[in-house]
């Protein structure tokens, strides 16, 4: 990503632009304007106007548009995957995989919005038996979405598709590393809705993202690092704009003594190394029961043979997309080794100028940065534990709480429930991300709020409660005509209703 200021053809007014680069070779993939605060405000204003149309459509009508978009993306999947491959460096197959998951999410959001958000009756209770009570979930209006580069389709789509299905319009600020992918998504949606500004893109760096935070948006959905998330919250606080924060993680994969070690090793390797380890829900730490530790390390080392980073078709790991991350990855490896970790594969020399070769470290001290901080590279730490209690304790001894995995035949569900994280897969890795009905999000420094599933739809709405009086109440409580006699009857009634021994039926 490089920034330049070039004259705009025709007007002569300098328009700052920036290029997105292919991280594998430095080639320019796309050139985009750096949207100023005025540009962002104008986009939000267009979005608000379009919200009048989009928000008035029925759930079924919106679903039609979203499902058409889903089909357009599906038919052009090779084109989008190629763009993502060039802009992120990830292998073409990996680029396609995240699009496949995103397509499924669009379809789920479109098909389920009415059921989840539409008006439905709730019980009005004995005290208010004369009232009909309904709740529905109304669109907020305009939602700002700020995305990262590591999964430039799947990640923002978790906000975009769900916000749109709920009846909001969206202004999306993609990462400066993947603006062309973001623009492609907005262009194809705009095609489907006949040019209306229902989903727009504003490109640029952090300043453009900040402008979106302070613009006239009704909610801001941010996905990125925790450090930026804090700035986003602070900026949104100015207008009391609510936020969703999807931040980083330090996920662990726990291996119990009764686990299928080959499957657990395969999952740890893919969970840790795919997308060059640049996955918020990627495996960074592995805790293995000491009785199977040596066998597990032998197994994963065996499976990792031949796995390498490069830009040729035989390489299953691509480059590090954001050059500044190379320093972080190296510092984590160096720190772990300096503190006494054992290098099983890769190591200090694994970090090159664009690529990082797979690195596996064992017996990594728990105070190493490779254990405490997000590494975001193709590295794994593998430590032995004496029990699953210890595995859970160490897993939870982090400020993050995004996701994780557990491999155990007998106790998988039990262990999973005790992990303090928003999402856990038992006997597989990252499976929850592909289940559209499941909420996605973290706790602690991994953020808050949920995308995906019913919770993800509700995230982009406000609950609207309505009561409708069906008949005159037996006891008129909301009136100055209420007298001491009525108050006494109310006291008797509440005692009958709630004064008895507590029972759960």
Residues at the site binding ligand NAD, with contacts judged by CB under 6 A: 146-151, 155, 173, 175-176, 205-206, 209-210, 213, 223-225, 228, 231-232, 246-249, 280, 322, 374, 402, 442, 447
- Which residue, 144 or 412, has its beta carbon nearer to ligand NAD? 144
Question: Smallest distance, Å, CB 491 to ligand NAD?
Answer: 51
Structure tokens at 92: 């073409």
For residue 127, give the H/E element and its range.
none
Comparing CA positions, the residue from 18, 21, 22 lying closest to residue 4 is 18
- Which residue, 249 or 456, has its beta carbon nearer to ligand NAD? 249
Rg (C-alpha) for the chain, rounded Å, is 26
- Which residue, 223 or 383, has its beta carbon nearer to ligand NAD? 223
Structure tokens at 466: 């309505």
Angle between helices 37-56 and 206-214 (to 10 degrees): 50
Comparing CA positions, the residue from 429, 386, 377, 436 lying closest to residue 404 is 429
Backbone angle region of 275, left / alpha / beta, with phi > 0 → left and psi within -120 to 50 → alpha: left
- Compute the distance between CA of residue 213 and CA of residue 131 in angstroms, rounded to an integer: 41
In contact, 15 and 33? CB cutoff 8 Å: yes
- Compute the distance between CA of residue 7 and CA of residue 197 in angstroms, rounded to an integer: 26
Task: Name, in order, each residue with C-beta under 8 angstroms of 314's C-beta and a sequence gap of 6 or more.
Answer: none
- Which residue, 323 or 473, has its beta carbon nearer to ligand NAD? 323
- Compute the distance between CA of residue 459 and CA of residue 470 in angstroms, rounded to an integer: 31
Q: Tokens 């802009």 belong to which residue? A: 87
Question: Smallest distance, Å, CB 113 to ligand NAD?
Answer: 21
Question: Smallest distance, Å, CB 215 to ligand NAD?
Answer: 11
- Which residue, 69 or 149, has its beta carbon nearer to ligand NAD? 149
Question: Smallest distance, Å, CB 37 to ligand NAD?
Answer: 12
- Minimal CB distance residue for ligand NAD: 209
Comparing CA positions, the residue from 462, 438, 440 lying closest to residue 449 is 440
Query: What positions carry a catalytic annotation?
Result: 246, 280
∠ CA 445-451-452, nearest 5°, is: 135
- Which residue, 248 or 453, has its beta carbon nearer to ligand NAD? 248
């Amino acid at each position: 990503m490089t920034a330049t200021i070039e004259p705009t053809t025709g007007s002569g007014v300098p328009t700052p632009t920036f290029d997105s680069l292919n991280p594998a070779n430095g080639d320019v993939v796309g050139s985009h304007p750096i949207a100023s605060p005025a540009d962002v405000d104008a986009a939000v204003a267009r979005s608000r106007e379009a919200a009048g149309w989009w928000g008035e459509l029925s759930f079924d009508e919106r679903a039609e548009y979203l499902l058409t978009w889903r089909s357009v993306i599906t038919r052009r999947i090779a084109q989008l995957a190629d763009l993502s491959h060039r802009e992120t460096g990830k292998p073409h197959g990996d680029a396609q995989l995240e699009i496949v998951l995103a397509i499924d999410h669009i379809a789920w959001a479109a098909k389920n919005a009415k059921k989840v958000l539409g008006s439905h009756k709730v019980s009005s209770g004995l005290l208010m038996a004369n009232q009909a009570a309904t709740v529905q979930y109304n669109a907020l209006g305009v939602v700002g979405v700020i995305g990262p580069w590591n999964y430039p389709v799947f990640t923002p789509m978790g906000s975009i598709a769900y916000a749109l299905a709920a009846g909001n319009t969206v202004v999306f600020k993609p990462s400066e590393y993947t603006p062309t992918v973001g623009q492609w998504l907005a262009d194809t949606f705009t095609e489907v809705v006949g040019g209306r500004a229902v989903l727009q893109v504003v490109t640029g760096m952090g300043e453009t993202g900040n402008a979106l935070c302070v613009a006239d948006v009704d909610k801001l959905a941010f996905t990125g690092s925790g450090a930026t998330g804090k700035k986003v919250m602070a900026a949104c606080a100015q207008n009391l704009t609510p936020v969703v924060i999807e931040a980083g993680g330090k996920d662990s994969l726990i291996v119990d003594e009764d686990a299928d070690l080959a499957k657990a090793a395969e999952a740890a390797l893919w969970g840790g190394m795919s997308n060059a380890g640049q996955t918020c829900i990627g495996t960074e730490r592995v805790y293995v029961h000491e009785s199977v530790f040596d066998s597990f390390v032998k197994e994963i080392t065996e499976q990792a043979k031949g796995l390498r980073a490069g830009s040729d078709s035989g390489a299953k790991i691509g480059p590090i997309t954001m050059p500044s991350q190379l320093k972080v990855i190296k510092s984590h490896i160096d720190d772990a080794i300096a503190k006494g970790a054992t290098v099983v594969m890769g190591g200090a020399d694994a970090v090159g100028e664009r690529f990082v070769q797979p690195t596996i470290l064992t017996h990594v001290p728990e105070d190493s940065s490779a254990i405490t901080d997000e590494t975001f590279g193709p590295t794994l730490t593998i430590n032995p534990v004496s029990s699953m209690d210890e595995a859970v304790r160490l897993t939870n001894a982090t400020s993050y709480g995004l996701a994780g995995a557990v491999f155990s035949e007998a106790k998988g569900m039990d262990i999973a429930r005790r992990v303090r994280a928003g999402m856990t897969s038992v006997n597989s890795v990252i499976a929850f991300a592909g289940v559209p009905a499941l909420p996605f999000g973290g706790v602690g420094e991994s953020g808050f709020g949920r995308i995906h599933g019913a919770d993800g739809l509700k995230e982009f709405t406000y609950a609207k409660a309505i009561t409708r009086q069906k008949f005159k109440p037996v006891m008129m409580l909301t009136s100055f005509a209420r007298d001491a006699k009525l108050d006494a009857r109310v006291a008797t009634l509440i005692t009958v209703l709630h004064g008895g021994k507590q029972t759960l039926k």
